[in-house]
Amino acid sequence: MRRLLPVDEWAWDETLFAGSAAHYGVGRMPYPPSVAEAVAEALGGAGTGRLLDVGCGPGSLTIPLAPLFASAVGIDADPDMLAEAGRLADRAGVSNVEWCHLRAEDLPADLGTFRAVSFGQSFHWMDRDLVACRVRGMLSPDGAWIHVGGTTHRGAVDATHSAPPWHRIDELVTRYLGPVRRAGRGTLPDGTRSGEEIVMRRAGFAGPSRIVVTDDRIVERDIDEVVSAVFSLSSSAPHLFADRLGAFELELRHLLTEATATGRFSERLGPIEVVIWRPT
């Protein structure tokens, strides 16, 4: 039986989001346009310089930010995520992005200098001290580190709308995968690491400035989209269920069907935080 690594031994491995790429663009709610607007206002000079998006996944942040720059590079360690990013960029008409199969820890990888380097809910999966130091050396003197954080697989708590039964979904995942959060071949019993501000200051960054973007729109989603939201998570990525994947999905769909008479759910978008650091 394979031993699962606890958080203090956890290390990234290639199975972290195995099987999740196709679900990401379907199950995750997109960042609202006001996120790109906030970044544009904070940085100024729209349409100039280069953007590097680190741990870009399927381009969830790269695609909306790329039009603010002359060119962009998205890097990710998962080739399936990059294939999905290319497909979604083509669909969105965004053509100024180069997609690179690369771990953040392998930067700078001769990619050059950037006006901005962004992380969309990805930094916590990396060797943060190493990546922060290497990224600092890739920023232009007037450059910026942009960290965008928020919960995009589910909406904010709002009793006035018929949200998916997330508590029951979590219970179902626990019944199949156990009570300790799974992550690739390891576990994260206490969740992902905190202390980002200490890491950033240690690497020679000043700040941060914080912008909280709120969007009161209501997003409607059907059962397929909620299923994809579940499979988009590292803690319930398809590979974790092994030969029980079909049984889990069948139960999940039954649970969701029982929870809605219309086959649809509605959720209010949650707040998104844009955190900007500058090299000293």
SS (H, E, C) 59-92: CCCHHHHHHHCCEEEEEECCHHHHHHHHHHHHHH
- Considering only 34-38, 146-150, 189-193, 211-215, which range has the smallest mean pLDDT? 189-193
pLDDT in tens, 216-247: 889 999 999 999 999 999 999 999 999 999 99
Cβ contact 148:205 at 8 Å: no
Q: Which of 196, 212, 201 minimizes the C-alpha distance to 42?
A: 212
Cβ contact 254:14 at 8 Å: no
pLDDT in tens, 5-58: 444 455 778 899 999 999 999 999 999 999 999 999 999 877 789 999 999 999
Q: Which of 203, 278, 280 minimizes the C-alpha distance to 43?
A: 278
pTM for the full model? Answer: 0.91
Q: What span, in angstroms and rounded, lies between the C-alpha atoms of 39 and 43?
A: 6
